[in-house]
């Protein structure tokens, strides 16, 4: 109809059609060399009417100049892998999508949910540097209104399907689900902002001692004077334990090296002892070289002291008869009498011989 607005605040003339109007919606980021822009710095200037898409149409794929505008919101305190995985799912719900992420301010969060660890500025910056985010909406509303959805030309809202009760409502996304604009994502089990805060509270003393050791003051940590001294004393005890542990490890290493060297020495000693014993037996054993040498030398000494007698066939045994016999008075010096009786007998025999010769 003439004068009807196209949803962007620009009147639509009767002759204007969908094909005649050029889409100028921001396109998804093709490079990741810069952080995602803020919505109030680069607003959508699309002049074409923002026609409502069904989930089937969005899943089939839309023209390149008409990405499906998906919105995801949250607090995103202590931005972690669970947040990133939820945004990844929201970005990949459709083949061609443009992901807008709304981040609630500190005032709204403290009013409806509780105190945050990170400030709103820190949370905004954390979302800008997530690779799946195309645009960040600061100071997002706690409950989505039709005016907000129309202003940012949002096609679908992505969030986990668990009813989110807050601000007096059993489910703040109930009207979005009824309008057919809700697409669910899956939560990542085992990780959440509350889990991280629980770990810090559980191990508060450990983190307080660590930050004191790194130079933070007790006032900055909101630690009392007594607790500060206690934590510092515990740090000293831990340092001493660490030193003792290092000494024990070094001593164990030293003992291991000594044992290893002693084992090598014992092994070498055993090898040398076997060699020594073998050499000793070869020299002094029953059939050793020393025994053979001793036998040879003893044989030579016996030959030197008592030479062998001449054999019977020796020429000294068969003398020529022409040679005169030895005089009878010549006494054989080589065979002395063994006793006085033998000496007298030999004298008597000599006298008898003399008589015969006479």
Return the CATH number at 113.
Answer: 3.40.50.620
Residue 85 lies in a domain: yes
Do 125 and 246 sit in the same domain of this protein?
A: no
Do 180 and 213 sit in the same domain of this protein?
A: no
The pLDDT of residue 199: 93
If phi over 0 gives left and psi between -120 and 50 gives alpha, with beta otherwise, what is residue 167?
left
What is the pTM assigned to this prediction? 0.59
Contact 194, 175 (CB under 8 A): no
Residue 152 lies in a domain: yes
The pLDDT of residue 282: 72
The pLDDT of residue 31: 66
Low-confidence ranges of the chain (pLDDT < 50): 1-21, 320, 322, 324, 329-331, 333-335, 347, 355-358
Range of the domain at 108: 55-190
Last residue of a domain, one of 190, 211, 238: 190
Residue 154 lies in a domain: yes
Do 243 and 184 sit in the same domain of this protein?
A: no
Do 173 and 200 sit in the same domain of this protein?
A: no
Going by C-alpha positions, the residue among 89, 311, 271 that lies closest to residue 188 is 89
| Separation between Cα atoms, residue 36 and residue 136, nearest integer Å | 7
The pLDDT of residue 153: 93
Mention every residue, 6+ apart, whose C-beta is less than 8 A from residue 22: 47, 48
| Separation between Cα atoms, residue 271 and residue 66, nearest integer Å | 87
Going by C-alpha positions, the residue among 182, 82, 77, 92 that lies closest to residue 134 is 92
Residue 178 lies in a domain: yes
| Separation between Cα atoms, residue 3 and residue 48, nearest integer Å | 15
Residue 354 lies in a domain: no
Q: The tokens of 321 are what?
A: 């008869």
The pLDDT of residue 344: 53
Each residue of 136-169: pLDDT tens digit? 999 999 999 999 999 999 999 999 999 888 767 8
Contact 225, 199 (CB under 8 A): no
The pLDDT of residue 342: 53
- Cα radius of gyration (the chain): 60
Total domains in the fold of the chain: 2
Residue 325 lies in a domain: no
Going by C-alpha positions, the residue among 34, 10, 2, 17 that lies closest to residue 153 is 10
The pLDDT of residue 45: 57
Q: For 220, phi and psi rounded to 5 degrees?
A: -65, -35
The pLDDT of residue 9: 39
């Amino acid at each position: 109809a003439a004068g009807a607005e196209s949803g962007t605040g620009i009147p639509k003339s009767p002759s204007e059609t969908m094909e005649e109007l050029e889409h100028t919606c921001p396109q998804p980021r093709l490079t990741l060399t810069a952080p995602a822009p803020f919505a109030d710095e680069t607003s959508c200037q699309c002049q074409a009417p923002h026609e409502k898409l069904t989930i089937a149409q969005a899943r089939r794929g839309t023209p390149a100049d008409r990405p499906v505008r998906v919105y995801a919101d949250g607090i995103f305190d202590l931005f972690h892998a669970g947040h990133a995985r939820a945004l990844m799912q929201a970005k990949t719900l459709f083949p061609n999508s443009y992901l807008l992420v709304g981040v609630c301010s500190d005032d709204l969060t403290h009013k409806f949910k509780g105190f945050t660890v990170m400030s709103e500025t820190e949370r905004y910056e954390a979302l800008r540097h997530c690779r799946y985010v195309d645009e960040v909406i600061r100071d997002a509303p706690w409950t989505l209104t039709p005016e907000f959805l129309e202003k940012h030309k949002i096609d679908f809202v992505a969030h986990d399907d668990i009813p989110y009760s807050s601000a007096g409502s059993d489910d703040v996304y109930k009207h979005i689900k009824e309008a057919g604009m809700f697409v669910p994502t899956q939560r990542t089990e085992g990780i959440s902002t509350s889990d991280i805060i629980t770990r810090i509270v559980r191990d508060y003393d450990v983190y307080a001692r660590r930050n004191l050791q790194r130079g933070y003051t007790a006032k900055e940590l909101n630690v009392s004077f007594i607790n500060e001294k206690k934590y510092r004393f515990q740090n000293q005890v831990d340092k001493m334990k660490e030193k003792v542990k290092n000494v024990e490890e070094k001593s164990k290493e030293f003992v291991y090296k000594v044992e290893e060297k002693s084992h090598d020495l014992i092994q070498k000693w055993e090898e040398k002892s076997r060699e020594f014993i073998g050499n000793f037996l070869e020299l002094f054993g029953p059939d050793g070289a020393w025994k053979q040498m001793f036998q040879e030398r003893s044989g030579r000494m016996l030959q030197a002291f008592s030479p062998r007698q001449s054999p019977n066939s020796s020429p000294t045994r068969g003398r020529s008869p022409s040679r005169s016999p030895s005089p009878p008075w010549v006494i054989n010096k080589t065979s002395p009498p063994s006793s006085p009786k033998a000496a007298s007998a030999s004298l008597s025999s000599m006298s008898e011989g003399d008589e015969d010769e006479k």
